[in-house]
Amino acid sequence: MFIYLNLIAFMLCLFGLIYFHVHFKSWSLSRKVFIALVVGVLFGVTLQLAYSGSEQGIIDNSVAWFNIVGNGYVKLLQMVVMPLILMSILSAVSKLHNASSLGKTSGSVISILLLTTLISAIVAIVISLVFNLSAEGLASGVQEQTRALKLQEIQNNTLGNLRAPDMILAFLPSNPFQDLAGLRQTSIIGVVIFSVFLGIAALKLVNDNPEQGNKLLAGIDTVQQWVMKLVRLVIQLTPYGVFALMIKMSATSDAKSIISLGLFIIASYVALAIMFVVHGILVSLSGESFLGYFKKIMPMMAFAFTSRSSAASIPMNIQTQEKRFGVANSIASFSASFGATIGQNGCAGIYPAMLAMMIAPTVGVELNLHFMIMLVFVVTISSIGVAGVGGGATYAALIVLPMVGLPIEIVALLISIEPIIDMGRTALNVSGSMTAGIVTSHLLKQTDKSQIEDE
């Protein structure tokens, strides 16, 4: 009975947002996403207040139905991720006149991603010391103990167990169809590499057989435009997806868990906020307004925050860089793709560094300068190849902690608050990839302000 009432209320709100979208076409996507976000939070809080305590089952069953819209939207974005990466990188490389342009673009993007990850690790260490974070006294319940048993299995499948040469080989695509299906942890990098080789082969064909080569380039451009139409079609659904995702977040948050580990949550978000400021400063050095940067990325941040998936954010990431900052398509494609698996400032930078600082004193490791320098280095290097999906921080922690000689059990102890922190981390990851694209475009003098669309 109550579930049906919740569904009716949900549908009424959803149709209200659709009505808004249809009759207020002049309104920007930013405003529509913000309205959907606020409505979703209010709806979720109302559910939690109405069915608190013994009626939690009603909330869970209702959210399961709401997820058709929320998770459905995420799945649609995931649907276009691999085709978008393939065609964007292929189209970008095939339009280059020489390989040096490709090297400059990828080199600059990766360097900026790793630099910001290094900074995020330093920020995490400083914040851990300021808040005096410690893992001492954290008790594990049944859920955490069960999770801890599974973590060992996950750890065995992470890149952290590979030697450096094997880790490099893991990025190369032996079966591009496997990577297009996203079956490996490094699938996105594999698709990028495959696309680069396809693009170089297209350039070779143009040089050897101009007639056939130009036909191929025309076909690549047509398919790329086709895929972009698909991406924009899906992105128009963002307000509805954010609405449903925010309901799930606000209705299912565990207040007790938030309070019990509140200091870690606060410290995490302080570190995240500092890194957002760092991103803003780097972008402002490229000629963009500090506040203007955050205003333009707000719809992107809203989706990244609620979806907790850097990979699913790639389509909107590319479009935001191109249409709101004038970044060249080739650079936007590289930074969004690489940023989903390399140098994630939140998941692969702040989180594992903060965990290591919390655990070290409890196992007798002194927090001296040598340990901190080693931690920053390990975090930066291990940030290469972290899966760009919800929970990617877990993989990063399972790589970093053993490399600095620390146990992994605390990763399981923090399971109850993981979603709360992961939302902010994912938003920072995406901001980091956009920062790399915007700065690279400025450094290579490829920013085209004329292509910016005025919403």
For residue 284 the two structure tokens come to 């402002």
For residue 455 the two structure tokens come to 């919403």
- Calpha distance 413→408 (Å, rounded): 10
Counting beta carbons within 10 angstroms of the beta carbon of residue 371, is it exposed (0 to 12), middle (13 to 18) or buried (19 or more)? middle
Instruction: Provide the domain count of the chain.
Output: 1
Give the residue carrying structure tokens 């995240």: 272
DSSP state, residue 143: H
Domain span at 50: 2-451
In the three-class reduction of DSSP (H, G, I as helix; E, B as strand; rest coil), residue 386 is classed as coil
- Cα dihedral value 62, 66, 67, 73, nearest 10: 180
Closest CA to 302 of 39, 125, 59, 109: 39
What pLDDT is attached to residue 325? 92
355 neighbors 128 (Cβ within 8 angstroms)? no
- Calpha distance 183→180 (Å, rounded): 8
The residues that bridge with 384 in the sheet, in sequence order, are 342
C-alpha atoms less than 13 angstroms from C-alpha of 292 in its C-beta half-sphere: 10
3-state helix, strand, coil in the chain (%, to 5): 80, 0, 20
- Calpha distance 90→214 (Å, rounded): 14
Give the orientation angle of helix 56-94 with respect to helix 187-208, to 10 degrees.
20
pTM score? 0.71
Q: How do the pLDDT tens digits run along the chain, 455 residues long?
A: 678 888 888 999 998 888 887 777 777 776 788 788 888 888 988 888 888 765 667 888 888 899 899 888 888 877 887 887 788 778 777 766 555 667 788 889 989 999 999 999 999 999 999 998 877 655 444 444 455 555 555 555 555 555 667 766 777 888 888 888 877 766 777 887 888 889 889 888 988 898 898 899 899 889 988 987 887 788 788 888 888 888 887 787 666 555 556 788 899 999 999 999 999 999 999 888 999 999 999 888 988 888 778 878 888 899 899 989 999 888 998 898 888 877 889 888 999 899 899 888 887 788 889 889 989 988 888 787 565 555 567 667 766 877 777 776 666 556 556 777 888 998 999 999 999 999 999 999 888 877 676 55
- Calpha distance 302→423 (Å, rounded): 9
The one-letter amino acid at 260: S
CA 332, 311, 330 angle in degrees (round to 5)? 15
**In Å, how far are 199, 211, 446 from 319, measured between CA atoms?**
21, 32, 16
Instruction: Output the CA torsion sign for 221, 315, 100, 200.
Output: negative
C-alpha atoms less than 13 angstroms from C-alpha of 216 in its C-beta half-sphere: 20
Closest CA to 383 of 75, 113, 85, 45: 113
CATH classification at residue 313: 1.10.3860.10
The residues that bridge with 342 in the sheet, in sequence order, are 384
284: Cβ contacts below 8 Å, ≥ 6 apart: 290, 293
In the three-class reduction of DSSP (H, G, I as helix; E, B as strand; rest coil), residue 405 is classed as coil
For residue 277 the two structure tokens come to 């400021």
